[in-house]
Structure formats: structure tokens, C-alpha cells
Amino acid sequence: MREHDGFFFEQIADGVWRAEVDPALPIEAGEEEQVRRCATTARLVECNEAMLRMYACVEPAQLVGTRLGDSFDLSDPRSLGFFRAFVRGGYRASDLESYELDRNGQPHCFLNNLVGVVEDGRLTRI
């Protein structure tokens, strides 16, 4: 991100984040592998203040470095459905509901817009 881009990132009232998928996920992998890996290998590398508040965090270090799936109960079919909808949508989703837990274990329902970045046949970031 360019230096001046951070201003707009922080001014957005919605929670905004960026995750890196490492290792990158081959898009030809089976759907269940893609779902599992989106939840377990994508790690947050950046988030804004609104995102911190949504998850009851005070500082970025409380979220940055966590896996996308860490705030989900992956035994809940709604959680897997969230990741499945993202994969089935070609790594794009609008108004996709998620049922997540904040850092204190309190449940929340969020409405998400997601965009995945595919480079050389691999999902590299979300």
C-alpha cells in the first residue's frame, strides 16, 4: 500500500482487512481443500481501527497474524458455508453473512464483501 493510501483505509467506517494466503492456494484444488485452506492458511496482515473495534481488540497486534478461520467456529456449518460461498463465487462475494466470535468469545454476525487476488492460477491474498 502506498503511504497516502493509509489515510483512506483508516477513514472507512467499515471494518477493512487484508489477508495473505501462504502458501498460495492453487485454484484447481478441490473445493473442500480450498475451503479448508482459506480458513487455515490465510493470515491477516493489515486491518483498520473499525475492524479492531468489531473484534473487541485494542491494537492491531491482537488481529494481525491471526488466521481467517480463527474467529469462526469451524464445526458450525454456517462457517464452512461462508468459506464455500467465497470459493464457489470465484473468490468474490458481496453481502455474505458470517457468524464469528470476537476475541472475548462473544458472537457477532457480520455482512462481508470479499475479493480474492489470483496470480498465476493461485489465490495469493484476500
| 3-state SS string for 21-86 | EEEEEECCCCHHHHHHHHHHHEEEEEECHHHHHHCCCCCHHHCCCCEHHHHECCCCHHHHHHHHHH
* Average pLDDT of the residues of the chain: 93
Question: pLDDT-based confidence at 8, cuts 50/70/90?
Answer: low
Is pLDDT at 103 greater than 80 in this prediction? yes
User: 88: part of which helix (H) or strand (E)?
Assistant: helix 77-88
Residue 12: what pLDDT? 80
| Domain limits for position 105 | 19-125
CATH number for 49 = 3.30.450.20
State how many domains the chain has: 1
Is pLDDT at 53 greater than 60 in this prediction? yes
Distance CA 27, CA 35 (A): 11
Is pLDDT at 3 greater than 60 in this prediction? no
Is pLDDT at 51 greater than 70 in this prediction? yes
